[in-house]
Amino acid sequence: MNGKPIATPKRTTDILHKYGFSFKKSLGQNFIIDVNILQNIIREAGISETSGVIEVGPGIGALTEQLANAADKVVAYEVDSRLLPILDDTLHNCGNVQVVHQDILEADVKAMMNVCFDANQSIHVVANLPYYITTPILMKLLREELPVSSFTVMIQKEVAQRMAAQPNSKQYGSLTIAVQYYTDAEVVMSVPRSVFMPPPNVDSSVLKLTKKTEPPVEVDDEDYFFALVQACFAQRRKTLRNNLRRHFSEWADRDIITAVLDETGIDPVRRGESLTMEEFAGLANAFYRKFRN
């Protein structure tokens, strides 16, 4: 594209002044002002000239501009109407970008993909996500089983660590299981606060989620599985037996809970953070068959 990239301190400041734009903390707006960081994100995402890209929260278009240079087509969802005229200006040379003024949490993303992208095109989500709403956005996109190859997102460091965690770590929890049920998760970059305007109050990481062709475990009912996993982490310091007694208070007493745990070969005094996804699946299926059939 012509001119200096959007993602520089001076160009960003000039754009903000031109439009009298003020940041809304409620929308988690922190704009990236380092082109190298953006290009590294795009490289980690594996974007090529044949790729389709979905972006969430383009802001003033810093990442969008770089994606437009690298990809075939970019569809960017922006909820803040104040940014629409700015994006019209900053991206006016990017003929392969479509900005959608819609809340991603309410959007029919699959329908958009059918219209905007080719049937056999490799589609990727690449975004600097608003930190306050990272998990709902990712879980919506994952659970809708969109034909997306990968998600490469800038998010809060602690959340990235939780999504990529392994058993027997303090970061490992129900969010870990939910994300890794659908994807292989890897933290690929750490990002300093200094590359944002304004600088956030938290550290940031880039997380890459590569979509699995099928879930790593077989479960009888996905909603039941995720609910049971959450129950096992309800009070992290309590044993599985105690957390499950609380969860199944209307269905089962201590002896029934212990019997099902014994049936699956899981020690009742273990804690949720020690269980693998395979063990959670076995446990969920055992309880589902006992109480729901």
65 is in an annotated binding site: no
Angle ∠(55,71,54) on CA atoms, nearest 5 = 20
The number of angstroms, rounded, from the C-alpha of 165 to the middle of its chain's C-alpha atoms is: 14
279 is in an annotated binding site: no
Scanning the structure block, which residue is given the tokens 């690298």? 70
Which residues face 124 on adjacent strands? Answer: 53, 150
Q: With CA atoms as reference, report the closest residue to 169 among 236, 242, 264.
A: 236
95 is in an annotated binding site: no
- Count H helices and E strands in the chain, helices first: 12, 9
103 is in an annotated binding site: yes
CB under 8 Å to 140, separation ≥6 — which residues? 104, 105
44 is in an annotated binding site: no
Q: With CA atoms as reference, report the closest residue to 19 among 64, 80, 57, 60.
A: 60
Amino acid at 219: V
Rounded to 10 degrees, what is the CA torsion of 16, 21, 26, 29? -20
30 is in an annotated binding site: yes
Binding-site positions for S-adenosyl-L-methionine read: 30, 32, 57, 78, 103, 128
Residues contributing to the annotated binding site: 30, 32, 57, 78, 103, 128
